[in-house]
Amino acid sequence: MKHSILKKLTLMLLLGFLIPGISSAKGNAAKGQEKAATCEACHGKDGHSIDPNYPNLGGQHFSYLVKALSDYRSGQRSNAIMASFAVNLSNQDILDLAAWYASQEGLEDLSIK
């Protein structure tokens, strides 16, 4: 438990240094929703994928989404599909997309009826 908390704090601190100007900024969820139209093909509407080959983004932490998209864009994180989309994202696009997906309910929040 202690290790997990320390790991998360370290990651948050690193985000501040690795992505200057992005980690402390905020995105616009409404603009992110518009920009996410392409993402829906794999990640589903509102970031809830119906295909287990693609991760759920809805309800994910804002800082994680910013870091992941930034890493795909820079090539630090490798995935041929994501790299082709992320390479053209601006810092503001990343912030907006992260704000949109972070504002959605996570799967643990969705009730099964």
Render pLDDT for 35-70 as a digit per residue (tens, 0 to 9). Answer: 999 999 999 999 999 899 999 999 999 999 999 999
Residue 25's pLDDT is: 76
Closest CA to 37 of 79, 87, 97: 97
Strands (E), the chain: none
Q: What is the CATH number of domain 2-107?
A: 1.10.760.10
What's the whole-model pTM score?
Answer: 0.74
pLDDT digits (tens, 9 = 90+) for 57-112: 999 999 999 999 999 999 999 999 999 999 999 999 999 999 999 999 986 655 55
Sequence-distant (≥ 6) Cβ neighbours of residue 82 within 8 angstroms: 72
Inter-residue contact 76 to 26 (CB < 8 Å)? no
> Which residue type, as a one-letter code, is found at position 101?
Y
CA diameter of the chain: 44
The candidate with the shortest Cα–Cα distance to 60, out of 6, 102, 15, 92, is 102
